[in-house]
Amino acid sequence: MGIDPDDFLAVDELLDADARTVRDTVRAYARAELAPHVSDWYDGGGLPVEAAKELAKLGLFGMHLTGYGCAGLPATAYGVACRELEAVDSGLRSFMSAHGSLAMSAIHRHGSEEQREKWLPGMAAGELIGCFGLTEPDAGSDPGSLRTTAVRTGGEWVVSGSKMWITNGTFADVAVIWAKVADPDGPDHGRIRGFLVPTDTPGFTARKIERKLSLRASVTAELALDEVRVPGDAVLPGALGLSGPLTCLNEARFGILWGAVGAARSCYLEALRHTTTRTQFGRPLASFQLVQAKLAQMVVAVNGAALTAVHLGRLKDAGTLQPEQISFGKLANVRAAADVARIARSLLGGAGITLDHTVMRHMNNLETVMTYEGTEEMHVLSIARSITGLSAFR
């Protein structure tokens, strides 16, 4: 039957029926409803919340969670959805990831039954949007040094501090805010806890971060909490210490390692189309050896990343996936995607720098994907620690 240039190693033959259905549904919707507009969203510097909420109709929000209106699909099916969204733009996957894998996952994993019932059905339906506030201006790779505090006052918590680089921050309805408990007489003094903060609470403000050069089709915000008062039951009871937010970050990183495959695939396919149809020196560009070498290099990178994603998805569905293996996937797949995007940009020549094509947009986006949910350096050190037994940081 020959080899399919879109899927050189027939990686999708490894997907089960659920994942293939998700692939076909999300791919068709993303290409028809999102791709025609994403360049304008990128150029304008944001994703319309109405467009984002349309994703709920596909059942994508919290699709890997069970109950409360969530689809309860396998992790691999969720990964495929991330891949197909990021094939259009990283900002689309980032929106779904921050809402579903961070905010919804935090409530689902660490929340009380009352909190789950209150928030998750509306979030799954797209009626409520969530964001996840961990990173701060002075606490990025070292979240344990965050300065946001929560003080118990009577039957309330008073939360004060600031958060930075928060996806969905300006249109979220609820923010999962991670803060250090400041209660010298209490058992949790100095420990990091999670709090559910409705964004219409007095003292809560969100400011859109402007002038971004990457991930522009995604709304990123700075959050300020000025003595924000929330009820005593706003705290997530199952999250004690830094392990609470880190478990959520691993969910998001899993989606990223899949999403990077989509971005890489899109760049490779656009370069393939361009070089097989554009003629120079009386021949298609793809007929020259140097061009063919670059195309082959991209095929190897895309399919290697795709295989990594499927394997890690299977490990996650089996319940054996380790955080260091997620670090491996994010590090390897984002690096591969960034390399493919740069090669593709070079093959498109001058046309590659415009928004009439996808490659420069993907290339810029991947610079951010390389950094968020753990920088390259932190993932390298995480992998090295797991194989040496020695930590190079705290």
Write phi, then psi, for 156 (nearest 5 degrees): -125, 165
Q: How far apart, in whole angstroms, are the C-alpha atoms of residue 270 and residue 6? A: 11
CB 354 within 8 A of CB 360: yes
CA angle 331, 328, 63 (to 5 degrees): 90
3-class SS string, the chain: CCCCHHHCCCHHHHCCHHHHHHHHHHHHHHHHHHHHHHHHHHHHCCCCHHHHHHHHHHCCCCCCCEECCEECCCHHHHHHHHHHHHCCCHHHHHHHHHHHHHHHHHHHHHCCHHHHHHHHHHHHCCCCCEEEECCECCECCCHHHCCCEEEEECCEEEEEEEEEEEECCCCCCEEEEEEEECCCCCCCCCCEEEEEEECCCCCEEEEECCCCCCCCCCCEEEEEEEEEEEEHHHECCCCCCCHHHHHHHHHHHHHHHHHHHHHHHHHHHHHHHHHHHCEECCEEHHHCHHHHHHHHHHHHHHHHHHHHHHHHHHHHHCCCCCHHHHHHHHHHHHHHHHHHHHHHHHHCHHHHHCCCCCHHHHHHHHHHHCCCCCCHHHHHHHHHHHHHCCCCCC
Half-sphere exposure of 69 (CA within 13 A, CB side): 21
Report the distance separating Cα 376 and Cα 367, nearest Å.
Answer: 11
Please identify every residue annotated as catalytic. Answer: 373
